[in-house]
Amino acid sequence: MKIVFISGSPRRGGNTDFAVSYAISELNQTLKNADINEIVLRDLHIKPCIGCRGCMVSDWCSIKDDDFDEAFKEVLAANIIVEAAPIYWNSPPGIMKDFIDRTHAIYRGRFQRPMSGKKGFILSVAADSGFETHEDIMSSWLRVYGAQIKGRVQLLARESGDIEKSPIEMEKLKNFTESIVESTDAI
Ligand SMILES: Cc1cc2nc3c(=O)[nH]c(=O)nc-3n(C[C@H](O)[C@H](O)[C@H](O)COP(=O)(O)O)c2cc1C
């Protein structure tokens, strides 16, 4: 079983990084046979989609000289996809949105669903607001491609370290991680 985390915070060592590390460490302890990987978008070179529509004819993104292909192939090989990102202006940060845009190559209309059978999870972090619009983008990406959304968590944190300091946020993160473990029963 393969689990992939797509980590979309521009801030190294911030709240999303903390939450993803916590979840991965718990999952590694509980799921002995799972292959768990993290794609850290800020460490990759992923160019923005240029809207060339080349992927609609060739079945894959026309931009070849960056790290997108390898990252997206890893996502497509996973049984469970966890999208993790902070909220920037009520939406995912640019690096996450750029990645999402580039996956347009597998969009073949609403009736073909290349991610069907995969389970999706969404981890969002914000200081106080914007979850609805942010999750709309994050969840529609998974849903449009046919993945089933099995869980989500909305963590409230502003400065690095805020999640660890809050028993309430830690409890939400723990429950979220448990929901990923529970979803593996059906795989
Ligand atoms: C450019 C920018 C835009 C932000 N926009 C929002 C927002 O719309 N709503 C909100 O509650 N927090 C907003 N924040 C705060 C971050 O979501 C918050 O600090 C979060 O903990 C950052 O996560 P990270 O440590 O993983 O980077 C914004 C932060 C930045 C830098």
Report whether residue 127 contacts ligand 1, using a CB cutoff of 6 Å: yes
Residue 37 has pLDDT above 90, yes or no: yes
- Show Cβ contacts of residue 159 under 8 Å, excluding neighbours closer than 6 positions: none
Task: Give residue 136's pLDDT band: very low, low, confident or very high (50, 70, 90).
Answer: very high
Ligand 1 touching residue 89 (CB < 6 A): yes
What is the C-alpha separation between 147 and 117, in angstroms, rounded? 6
Pocket test for ligand 1, best of 12, 83, 88 (most atoms within 8 A of CB): 88
CATH number of 2-186: 3.40.50.360
Any ligand 1 atom below 6 A from CB of 156: no
- Residue 162 predicted with pLDDT over 90: yes
Tell me the average pLDDT across 29-57. Answer: 96
CA dist 172 and 176 (Å) reads: 6
Give the pLDDT score at 58: 87
DSSP structure string for the chain: -EEEEEE--SSTTSHHHHHHHHHHHHHHHH-TT-EEEEEEGGGS--PPP----THHHHSS-S--SSSHHHHHHHHHT-SEEEEEEE-BTTB--HHHHHHHHHGGGG---TT--TTTT-EEEEEEEESS--HHHHHHHHHHHHHHTTPEEEEEEEEE--STTHHHH-HHHHHHHHHHHHHHHHHGGG-
Q: What is the pLDDT of residue 110?
A: 65
Q: Which residue's CA lies nearest to atom 1 of ligand 1?
A: 88
Mutate to test the pocket of ligand 1, among 87, 154, 159, 165 (most ligand atoms within 8 A of CB): 87
Give the pLDDT band (50/70/90) at residue 111.
low
Query: Which residue's alpha carbon is nearest to atom 6 within ligand 1?
Result: 88
Rounded Cα gap, residues 139 and 16, in angstroms: 17
What percent of the chain has pLDDT above 90?
91
Q: Which residue, by CA, sits nearest to atom 28 of ligand 1?
A: 88
Question: Mean pLDDT of all residues in the chain?
Answer: 96
What pLDDT is stored for residue 112 in this prediction? 76
Residue 59 confidence (pLDDT) above 90 = no
